[in-house]
């Protein structure tokens, strides 16, 4: 039920947790509008942060915003708030991605679904993208099952890759890297989202300290934001010989599916963090339509691939910058 408007400390805590989510090139393509009278947070796409070269349909934008929405739901559950969520509530305005009506339940016991969400809250600030090498230790089967269940709770599938499908996906990642390097417009777009911390104090994008080391074999699955640039002192080290990759897929491939994929992705990442599993992404072939459809298992694969996730045991990666809340949160009466 609704009661008095949320206090500003609770409101800013909710939005700060939401904005800790990952997004393509750390563009943080979201805006939040809070209406005090209705205790409703509206999640909007920041269309100025669309990447026309690598994400012309704004699929990745929706996934990033979906991840932020999942964090918001986790934060609300942690605070004992009911979060009634609607996806794409205004069909005439594609920038309105979701509404979350926040209710108080002072006397009602927490539902099991809310308990499960609230349990993820400690991982929000601990989850980072790791562009560092992992060791060869396999993620245990029970942890894999837990991550698969986390994705299914949000309407997506999460499938760990085995041979020969794994080798096919690795080859597609290498193909996509070649496509990217041969596309000057994409190279320029990616460069616009990298940040030199010697000359600026970034609030978005990928800072140079988060590039990670270069793979000595040039076979790493994660995107190298250094490109062909040379950074003095950046080490070249061996990465794992056999990366542990998983595909996140959805039954459909529309805006609502992308939002669900983002929520499923973040739920997987938070659960992995609680299990001390580090994660990163291999989005390169997902960004090329002629490669994306090849990612599915040719024998058993179904659905639409939304993300390739790399998992393992190793450094968790550094915290990347976030935009000030004043830039992303508007409060209305």
In tens digits, what is the pLDDT along the chain, a chain of 333 residues? 445 678 999 999 999 999 999 999 999 999 999 999 999 999 999 999 999 999 999 999 999 999 999 999 999 999 999 999 999 999 999 999 999 999 986 666 778 889 999 999 999 999 999 999 999 999 999 999 999 999 999 999 999 999 999 999 999 999 999 999 999 999 999 999 999 999 999 999 999 999 999 998 877 798 999 886 667 778 899 999 999 999 999 999 999 999 999 999 999 999 999 999 999 999 999 999 999 999 987 777 779 999 999 999 999 999 999 999 999 999 998
Q: What is the pLDDT of residue 273?
A: 98
Which residues 6+ apart lie within 8 Å of 201 measured at CB? none
What is d(CA 171, CA 124) in angstroms, rounded to the nearest whole number? 32
Q: What is the pLDDT of residue 1?
A: 44
Cα-based angle 73, 78, 79 (whole degrees, multiple of 5): 100
As a dihedral over the C-alpha atoms of residue 58, residue 61, residue 63, residue 66, rounded to 10 degrees, the angle is -120
Contacts of 215-221 with CB under 8 Å at 24 or more apart are 215/133, 215/239, 219/174, 220/131, 220/133, 221/170, 221/173, 221/245, 221/280, 221/282, 221/308, 221/310
CA distances to 64, 139, 236, 267 from 18, rounded to whole Å, are 10, 27, 34, 12
Q: What is the pLDDT of residue 297?
A: 79
Say which residue the tokens 């080490």 belong to. Answer: 235
List % helix, strand, coil for the chain (3-state, nearest 5). 35, 20, 45
**Segments of 22-147 assigned E as strands:** 30-35, 40-45, 81-87, 96-104
What is d(CA 100, CA 39) in angstroms, rounded to the nearest whole number? 8
Q: What is the pLDDT of residue 112?
A: 85
Greatest Cα pair distance, the chain, in angstroms, is 60
Say which residue the tokens 């998983």 belong to. Answer: 246
What is d(CA 239, CA 199) in angstroms, rounded to the nearest whole number? 30
């Amino acid at each position: 039920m609704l009661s008095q408007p949320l206090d500003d400390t609770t409101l800013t805590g909710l939005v700060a947790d939401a904005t800790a989510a990952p997004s393509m090139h750390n563009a943080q393509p979201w805006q939040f509008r809070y209406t005090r009278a209705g205790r409703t947070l509206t999640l909007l796409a920041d269309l100025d942060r669309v990447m026309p070269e690598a994400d012309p349909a704004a699929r990745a934008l929706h996934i990033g915003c979906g991840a932020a929405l999942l964090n918001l739901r986790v934060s609300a559950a942690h605070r004992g708030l009911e979060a009634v969520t609607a996806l794409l509530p205004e069909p005439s305005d594609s920038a309105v991605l979701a509404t979350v009506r926040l209710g108080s339940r002072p006397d009602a016991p927490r539902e099991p679904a809310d308990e499960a969400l609230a349990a993820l809250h400690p991982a929000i600030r601990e989850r980072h993208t790791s562009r560092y090498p992992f060791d060869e230790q396999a993620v245990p089967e029970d942890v894999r099952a837990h991550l698969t269940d986390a994705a299914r709770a949000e309407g997506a599938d999460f499938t760990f890759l085995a041979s020969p499908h794994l080798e096919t996906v690795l080859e597609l990642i290498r193909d996509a890297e070649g496509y990217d390097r041969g596309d000057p417009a994409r190279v320029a777009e990616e460069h616009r989202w990298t940040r030199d911390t010697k000359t600026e104090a970034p609030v978005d994008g990928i800072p140079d300290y988060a590039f990670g080391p270069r793979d000595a074999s040039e076979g790493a699955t994660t995107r190298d934001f250094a490109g062909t640039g040379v950074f003095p002192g950046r080490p070249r080290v061996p990465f794992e010989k056999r990366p542990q990759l998983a595909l996140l897929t959805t039954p459909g491939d529309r805006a609502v599916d992308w939002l669900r994929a983002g929520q499923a992705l973040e739920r997987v990442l938070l659960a992995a963090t609680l299990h001390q599993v580090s994660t990163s992404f291999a989005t390169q072939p997902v960004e090329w339509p002629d490669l994306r459809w090849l990612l599915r298992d040719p024998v058993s694969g179904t659905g639409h691939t939304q993300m390739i996730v790399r998992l393992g045991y190793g450094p968790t990666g550094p915290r990347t910058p976030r935009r000030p809340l004043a830039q992303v949160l508007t409060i209305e009466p």
